[in-house]
Amino acid sequence: MILYNSSPVFMLSQMSCYRLQNILTALPACVNITYNPQPCYLIFTSPPSNNSRVLCSGYSSKNQVKKMEAGHHDLSKVTVFGDPQLLQRKIDAVRLAGPAKLQVIADFDGTLTNYFVNGRRGQSSHGILKQGNAEYDDKRQALYEYYHPLEFSPTIPIEEKTKLMEEWWGKTHNLLIEGGLTYDAIKESVASSAIAFRDGVVELFEFLEERDIPVLIFSAGLADIIEEVLRQKVHRSFKNVKIVSNRMVFDNDGRLISFKGKLIHSLNKNEHALEMAAPVHEHFGDGDGPINDNASVKKRTNVLLLGDHLGDLGMSDGLDYETRISAGFLNDNIENNLSNYCKAFDVVYLNDAPMWGVVKLVSQMCSTVN
């Protein structure tokens, strides 16, 4: 045991922290707790005032997350910092440079959207698509069952795996064309889907839009579906949001005839594909033009990166950035992945947490420098 600000600090093993979690959550509110996994330590401070809240940056149940949302968005129980001091230095550097140097790069599925919807696993933007032809839906499902295990195989070299992903996406896109996918089918698929944005996403986009900070949504899925999800679930567009994803080309009858530009799959989803970016509002029919072209985006050398997989960290590979702050959403299988996520991301949000932690983080990055 050591002391931190006159408080006892207990150094614990990672597994000990997990085992103690259930005990700690049962402690009364008169005990103030802080938990950090790298290295793993607990700080017990003296009893706070009656209006103080228990702080414990471990993971909790979904019901606890809901309670925290209601309580001024207190996410301390689902927030873990890899290196708090390093993160603070990065925040200070971004704040000093100002909003004009900042951009946000975000994954879509499982990052901007909830991992769980109504207590069940939510759908991905690719997974919701039903093209109105059962034969072709079954063919695409067969491709998924064959290639998906290969995508995460630890024994396949990256070069070979990249070729396999190109095959998978190419075959899937061909099936969508051959099966006669229509835009009406996309709208119907989204309307009946189990997909939802995390609480706080709209407020995050609005905060960034007010400050002319661009948001690039990177997805190996389909841009047209993502736009339809935004249209149906958010009911508005944002002039600062661009989508880097596979974009469809429809004929005058609304039938898919081809795909535009280069193929984007799960292993090449980074800023090298920036030329694929298209502002959301252009496709929503809004009158205002984009506030940032691709050249100006690349000049923004401070990055906030949002993802739910370790591979999402590669989304900024094509950008020559000065400071990158990475926020990871660890939605499931927490005990097996927490250590790796804490090493890779500056801050990790657990148990399908809402976006309010990122909103607070961005507000700190954009606060006035004294």
Could you tell me which of 218, 202, 244 has the C-alpha nearest to residue 309?
218
Q: What is the DSSP annotation of 59-114?
A: ---HHHHHHHHHTTT--GGGEEES-HHHHHHHHHHHHHH-GGGEEEEEE-TTTTB-
pLDDT tens string 182-205:
999 999 999 999 999 999 999 999
Neighbours of 148 (CB within 10 A): 12
Average pLDDT of the chain, as a whole number: 79
Predicted local distance difference test score (pLDDT) of residue 277: 55
Of the two residues 292 and 106, the one the predictor is more confident about is 106
pLDDT tens string 331-369:
988 988 999 999 999 999 999 999 999 999 999 999 986
Over 80: is that where the pLDDT of 30 sits?
no
Peptide bond into 39 cis (omega under 30): yes
Predicted local distance difference test score (pLDDT) of residue 1: 35
Contact by Cβ (8 Å): 220, 169: yes
State the average pLDDT over residues 292-313.
83
- For the CA atoms of 215, 221, 227, 232, the dihedral, rounded to the nearest 10 degrees, stands at -120
* Residues recognised as catalytic: 107, 109
Which pair of tokens denotes residue 169? Answer: 């996406």
Over 60: is that where the pLDDT of 49 sits?
no
Could you tell me which of 180, 267, 262 has the C-alpha nearest to residue 223?
262
CA distances from residue 6 to 1, 17, 37, 44, 46 in whole angstroms, order as listed:
12, 22, 21, 10, 9
Predicted local distance difference test score (pLDDT) of residue 283: 52
State the average pLDDT over residues 116-130.
88
Predicted local distance difference test score (pLDDT) of residue 152: 80
Predicted local distance difference test score (pLDDT) of residue 94: 97
Over 90: is that where the pLDDT of 211 sits?
yes
Distance CA 334, CA 332 (A): 5
Q: In whole angstroms, what separates CA 34 from the centre of its chain?
A: 25
Could you tell me which of 245, 270, 262, 279 has the C-alpha nearest to residue 321?
270
Packing angle between helix 158-178 and helix 134-151, nearest 10 degrees?
170
State the average pLDDT over residues 112-133.
89
Could you tell me which of 243, 249, 230 has the C-alpha nearest to residue 187?
230
Distance CA 37, CA 286 (A): 46
Predicted local distance difference test score (pLDDT) of residue 57: 37
Predicted local distance difference test score (pLDDT) of residue 178: 96
Predicted local distance difference test score (pLDDT) of residue 124: 86
Lowest mean pLDDT among 124-133, 264-273, 313-322: 264-273
Confidence of residue 44 (pLDDT cuts 50, 70, 90): very low
Map tokens 């702050």 to a residue. Answer: 325
CA distances from residue 152 to 78, 106, 165, 221 in whole angstroms, order as listed:
27, 21, 11, 17
Predicted local distance difference test score (pLDDT) of residue 266: 85
- Per DSSP, which regions of the chain are E strands? 2-4, 7-11, 32-37, 40-45, 79-81, 102-107, 116-117, 120-121, 215-222, 241-250, 256-260, 278-279, 302-307, 323-330, 347-350
Confidence of residue 279 (pLDDT cuts 50, 70, 90): low
Packing angle between helix 356-365 and helix 201-210, nearest 10 degrees?
20
